[in-house]
Amino acid sequence: MSNRSRAQVSSARRIVVKVGSSSISGDNSDQIAPLIEALAEAHGRGVEVVLVSSGAVASGMDYLNLDERPGDLATQQAAASVGQNVLTARYQETLDRYGIAAGQVLLTEGDLLNEPHRSNTRRAVNRLLDLRILPIVNENDTVATYGLRFGDNDRLAAMLSVLIRADLLLLLSDVDALYTRPPHLPGAEPIDFIGFDQELEGMEFTANKGAGVVGTGGANTKVKAARLAASAGTAVLVTETRLAAEALAGGSCGTWFEPMPTAPGRALL
C-alpha cells in the first residue's frame, strides 16, 4: 500500500477500525448500523476487518439506571459486564443482514504485552479472520486491573494493529479530523497529512471538547496511538464515525498518518 495516499486505502487487505463510546451510544446510537454497513461492505470485497469498540460501560448504564458514568471501579465493571453483551448484540443485529458473524475478543493489557498471552492473542485473531469472522475487540473491563483500562482504546487498537500487522488503522470519533488546536477554539485548522518523521511542534492536542462524559479519549490519545502504529508500518487515518464509509472507500477525509516506509520488524511492543 502506498505510504502517502488515502486513495490506496481500498487496497488494504487487513484493517483495524476503532470507534469511541460517544459515537455509538446515547443520541448517537443510530450510527451503529451505518458503521457496520461500511465494515460489511469492506468485508464483502475480501478485506479482513477487526473492530475495536469502546462503549461497554456506556451501553450498560441504562440497564443499571445510571445517568452518568460511574466513578467507582466496581460499578464501572458491573456496567461493562452488562453493556458488553448489549453492544455485541447490537452489532450482530446489523451484521446478520450481511451473513457475517461477530467474534467477541476481550483483552487485558497483559494479553498484548506478555508471552505466551501475546502470541495466543495473535493466533486467535488471525484464526477468526481466516474463518471470515469479524472480531469485535474491547478491553476486558469487567476483570481488568490498574484502573480498569489500557488508558484508552486508541492505544489498544494501535497495539493490536501492530500485533496482527494490519495495513490500516482507522480511528473514528466525533470529530472529522485532527486540528492544530481543539476544534472549538478560534483559529483551529484541520490537519490533512502527518509524515512519519514530521515534528508536531506548535500543534495543541488535548482532550476533545466534551470528552469524558461517556468516553475517555481525545485528540492527544489518537496522536499517540497513530504514532505507535505508523512507526511500526501501519498507515493510520483519523476521522469522524459518520465518514467511515467514505474513509474506507479511500475518500479525501480526516488526518492521514504516513507509515514508516521500512518499519524495523513491525513489532515495537
Per the annotation, does 152 bind a ligand?
Answer: no
pTM: 0.90
Report domain 6-257's class: alpha beta
* Count of residues making up the chain: 269
pLDDT tens for residues 130-179? 999 999 999 887 776 654 456 689 999 999 999 999 999 999 999 999 99
CB of 60 closer than 8 Å to CB of 89: no
| Res 8: pLDDT | 74
User: d(Cα 128, Cα 126) in Å, to the nearest integer?
Assistant: 5
Q: What is the pLDDT of residue 5?
A: 67
pLDDT for residue 115: 94
Q: Is 138 annotated as a binding residue?
A: no
| Each residue's pLDDT tens digit, 206-250 | 654 444 444 445 788 999 999 999 999 999 999 999 999 999 999
Q: Summarize pLDDT for 95-125 with one digit per residue, the tens.
A: 999 999 999 999 988 899 889 999 999 999 9
Tell me how far apart the alpha carbons of residues 140 and 158 are, in angstroms, rounded to a whole number: 17
96 annotated to a ligand binding site: no
- Residue 4 clears pLDDT 90, i.e. is over it: no
- Predicted confidence (pLDDT) at residue 126 exceeds the cutoff of 60: yes
Q: For residue 201, with 0-12 CB atoms within 10 Å meaning exposed, 13-18 middle and 19 or more buried, which class applies? A: exposed
Q: Determine the pLDDT at residue 257.
A: 94
| Order of strands, sheet of 168-173, starting from the edge strand that comes earlier in the sequence | 102-107, 134-139, 48-53, 14-19, 168-173, 235-240, 255-257, 193-194
CB contact at 8 A, 25 and 59: yes
The domain spans of the chain are: 6-257
Is 10 marked within a binding site?
Answer: no
Per DSSP bridges, beta strands 193-194 and 235-240 are unpaired
The answer to whether 62 is a known ligand-binding residue is: no
**11-48: per-residue pLDDT in tens?**
899 999 999 988 998 888 899 999 999 999 999 999 99
